[in-house]
Amino acid sequence: MLLLRHCQGVTRVGLLKTQRLLNSVATPSVTGCVGSLCARWGSSHGGQESGSYKRSHVPNWRHALAGLLAGTGAVLAYGLHSQAERAATTMVQPIDPPTSMPIFTQDDVTKHRSIEEGVWVTYKGSVYDITEFVSMHPGGDKILLAAGGALEPFWALYAVHSQEHVLEILSEYKVGELSAEDRRKQQTVKSSDPYSTDPVRHPALHVNSLKPFNAEPPAEILSDNYITPSAIFFKRNHLPVPQVDPKAYQLHVEGLPGAEPLVLSLEELKTRFPKHTVTATLQCAGNRRSEMNKVKPVKGLNWGIAAISNATWSGAKLKDVLLAAGYRPELAQQACHVQFEGLDRDATGTTYGASIPLHKAVSDEGDVLLAYEMNGEDLPADHGYPVRVVVPGTVGARNVKWLGKIIVSEEESSSHWQQNDYKGFSPATDWDTVDFKSAPAIQELPIQSAITQPAEGATLDRRAEEVTVKGYAWSGGGREVVRVDVSLDGGQTWKVAQLQGGEKPQPGRAWAWKLWELTAPLPPATQELEIVCKAVDNSYNMQPDTVAPIWNLRGVLSNAWHRVKVTIREDEEE
């Protein structure tokens, strides 16, 4: 919590406003800059910050990788690059060296932490009075978290600030320099970019947000592998990746009446409990959000169709750990939820958190794991090293990574992500009328499918005489996909696709997706196809036809029929 202190600074502020106006002569007009910033933010708000980066850097890699992956079971060979990190960093221009402007101490700055008394911040040794900018800040009141201190740690959390025009705007508000002593103190503080230790990522990923890192694999690669290689498994981080020393790692299990909290080391988790392996698909609640965005803008990362992947996970059963910690079945009368806390935390120290129903956590058939392996290796850093929760059949958000604490409770997690996010609403509900308490937290996800090949806008060759359509299908809650229907005419007529799954799952435990494929003759007398897919699970749940009636303000649960338009190129030679 930030305490906003009152201080005296009216005269000085008056003087400095003149200075700011003088400075502005040498730069574009403030109005113009702010307008420009807002416009760019407006189009990229919600994590699409790296849209332009993605488009300029990814395609070459994508094509190279697609070549490597030709054929089933191709080995992923790639160089690990951190171009993304470097690209974002080098965009920040260094601020000019100290001038003859007024000198302030850190104490002077610290006194300006409110609209009433002025909002001052420092950046690379300079001092800025951003009071007037607060109301124009596209990110809203969050800017006040930095009041009276340095901008660096906050800008580091939100990479949208690493752009030249943002620094231009900031320069308008410069009121002086920080004292030499306080500059030295700031410089001796270790780099405060919490993302500086994030792992390097696979260059084929389509990046939706760099800080925090959110990315999906190219759709055409996704359906090449029943088990998604870890490197291209979609990444959905809410915060910086925490650095966890496996030797010092402790998992705390609390909330069981009459029992002491249980603390387990990584070694104990691996050796005291049987190791189970489950193949499970994880899907982000926002997968296919971009289709909802086309109906009406929603809040959230603009995911395509690949915020879903499939892996094998190994670890201890949550049920076994809860039993060791003192869980007894009769407790089910009192407690209803199992909360998880991650070791990833924001600038205020708040950790990521979520919860699942106790019923799922302790069911023999629930298969909830405290996983320490993914695809036969230690969990990668992006996927929760050293321990994460895997809740098969349940939305990705409850599969808490970098797991630090488990709490058995009468209540759901109080976290933002459980209470005020990841819930579905009627298309009639907007941000003025939404009552987050009125909807249940998403747990099991509904039936889903999408076309990974051909891609939207692709051109088919008439001489091929047929088209092969590929995709994935999955349903939450352990419900098995039993059929995928494919249409080449926008849903007027249908054909049944071939399903390609793993082993026949046990009833109610179909945690993994099915890939599917259909090869059909190219229809004559048309140059355009609207290819559509829809899946059915073994509870005979079906996907809704269209997006608009399931539109919701957070853009979650986007599972209408997937549609891809392609054209047929006629052979002019014949």
Catalytic annotation, residues: 137, 161, 236, 284, 422
Closer to its own copies by Cβ: residue 279 or 487: 487
Using rule CB under 8 A, residue 477 touches its own copies: yes
Residues of this chain, 489-508, that bind its own copies according to CB under 8 A: 491, 493-496, 506-508
Residues of this chain, 394-423, that bind its own copies according to CB under 8 A: none
Q: What is the DSSP string of 296-310?
A: S--SS----S-SEEE
Binding mask 505-524 for its own copies (x = CB under 8 A): -xxx----------------
Using rule CB under 8 A, residue 350 touches its own copies: no
Which one of 202-210, 459-467, 522-530, 531-539 is the stretch in contact with its own copies (CB under 8 A)?
Answer: 531-539
Using rule CB under 8 A, residue 276 touches its own copies: no
What is the DSSP secondary structure assignment for residue 167, as one 8-state letter?
H
Edge-to-edge strand list for the sheet holding 337-345: 262-265, 250-254, 403-409, 337-345, 351-357
User: Could you say which of 184, 539, 567, 571 contacts its own copies (CB under 8 A)?
Assistant: 539
Using rule CB under 8 A, residue 555 touches its own copies: no
Beta bridge partners of 520: 467
* Total binding residues toward its own copies, as defined by CB under 8 A: 46
Q: Is 225 helix (H, G, I), strand (E, B) or coil?
A: coil
Using rule CB under 8 A, residue 442 touches its own copies: yes
How many Å apart are CA 58 and CA 53, to the nearest integer? Answer: 8
Q: What is the DSSP string of 387-419?
A: -EEE-TTB-GGGS-SSEEEEEEESS---SHHHH
Q: Is 15 helix (H, G, I), strand (E, B) or coil?
A: helix
Where does 45-134 have alpha helices with state H?
51-68, 83-90, 106-110
Distances (CA, A) of 505 to 15, 283, 319, 510: 74, 19, 21, 5
442, 280 contact by CB (below 8 A):
no
Using rule CB under 8 A, residue 545 touches its own copies: yes
Closer to its own copies by Cβ: residue 131 or 399: 399
Closer to its own copies by Cβ: residue 316 or 532: 532
Beta bridge partners of 481: 537
Least distance (Å) between residue 478 CB and its own copies: 10
Using rule CB under 8 A, residue 296 touches its own copies: no
Using rule CB under 8 A, residue 476 touches its own copies: yes
User: Could you say which of 76, 458, 522, 542 contacts its own copies (CB under 8 A)?
Assistant: 542
Least distance (Å) between residue 474 CB and its own copies: 13
Which one of 166-174, 309-317, 356-364, 413-421 is the stretch in contact with its own copies (CB under 8 A)?
Answer: 356-364
Edge-to-edge strand list for the sheet holding 562-569: 459-461, 562-569, 528-537, 481-487, 495-496
Could you tell me which residues come within 8 angstroms of residue 355 by beta carbon, excluding any fewer than 6 positions away? 337, 338, 339, 340, 398, 409, 412, 413, 418, 441
How many Å apart are CA 379 and CA 557, to the nearest integer? Answer: 27
Least distance (Å) between residue 395 CB and its own copies: 9
Residues that bind its own copies (CB under 8 A): 336, 357, 359-360, 365, 424, 426-429, 439-440, 442-447, 476-477, 482-483, 485, 491, 493-496, 506-508, 534, 536, 538-546, 549-550, 557, 559
